[in-house]
Amino acid sequence: MGTTTSGADCVVRPYDACDIDKPFSTEFCGLTLTHTPTSRTGGTFEVQLTAAGVDYKQSGTYTLSGPENRLTATYATAEMCAHTGGQALCVPQPARTTTWTKISDCKAAP
- pLDDT higher for 70 or 109? 70
Structural domain tally of the chain? Answer: 1
- Which residue, among 15, 28, 35, has the nearest Cα to 109 in the 3D structure? 15
Residue 109 forms part of a structural domain: no
Give me the mean pLDDT over the 7-20 stretch: 70
Which pLDDT does position 1 carry in this prediction? 37
Q: Residue 63 sits in which domain range?
A: 2-101
CB-based contacts of 37-41 (< 8 A; 24+ apart in sequence): 40/64, 41/65
Residue 107 forms part of a structural domain: no
Residue 33 forms part of a structural domain: yes
pLDDT (tens digit, 9 = 90+) per residue, 41-87? 999 999 888 877 788 888 899 999 999 889 999 999 878 888 888 88
pLDDT (tens digit, 9 = 90+) per residue, 18-28? 888 999 988 87
